[in-house]
Amino acid sequence: MISKRAFLIAAMLLAVSATGAMAATVNVDQFVVNNLSIDPTSVLNLSEAGVAAATPYNTILGYLTTGFAGGLWNGPGINSSLAAGIGGQTTLGVNTGAEYIGNNGTKFYDATIAPTTQAVIKYTYAGDLTLDGIVDDNDLGAFLANYNNDGSNTIPTPVNGYFAGDLNYDGFVDDNDLGIFLGNYPSADQGLPPLNNGQFAGAAAAPVPEPSTIVLMVMGLGVAIVALARKRFTN
């Protein structure tokens, strides 16, 4: 008997590899796949989970950039109707295989990924750079390593964009990304449950901060940075 997951993967590979004028929308949870090819008019809609693929990272990043669609998460490529419906609190984040394994080991939901994995996508909170289901000081450290106020820090190719802090897939790590990050940092203080299994109960979407609120949040971030620096120094 063919398992449900195997059937979904087979259906996905047939649909999103379609050529010509045919457009396909395929909805899946999680899977591990060797080659993920999506034609320009097709959609892979990820809901509450993710994908581990041997497909080159930059190819996957391109699918996510078009799917992100300026934050609407309804574009072609790889998108998420679930993230679209929650108003920016959740997203599809991506790591290289090395980044993901370095932060989380080889466990990927109920599967084990190979060291040759090129890209790992997970449905998670915006700002969860390490894809461990929470937004914490580990994510803050990764974000600050690339954050540049004037937006001049263009992420080079090959792009390690999301893990570098490019939360809106525009090639920069700037105040736009900072606003997104602060909306969920730290997730424990926001009352957000860990998304280790890709499941999200639907907490109310965080409102977009007003400018004065952002100033206060940045002040709070400064305190967090000092605390993190002290913690690392003492260790």
pLDDT of residue 161: 86
The model carries a pTM of 0.74
Distance (Å, rounded) from C-alpha 219 to C-alpha 225?
A: 10
pLDDT in tens, 189-235: 988 888 865 444 444 334 444 433 333 343 444 444 444 444 444 45
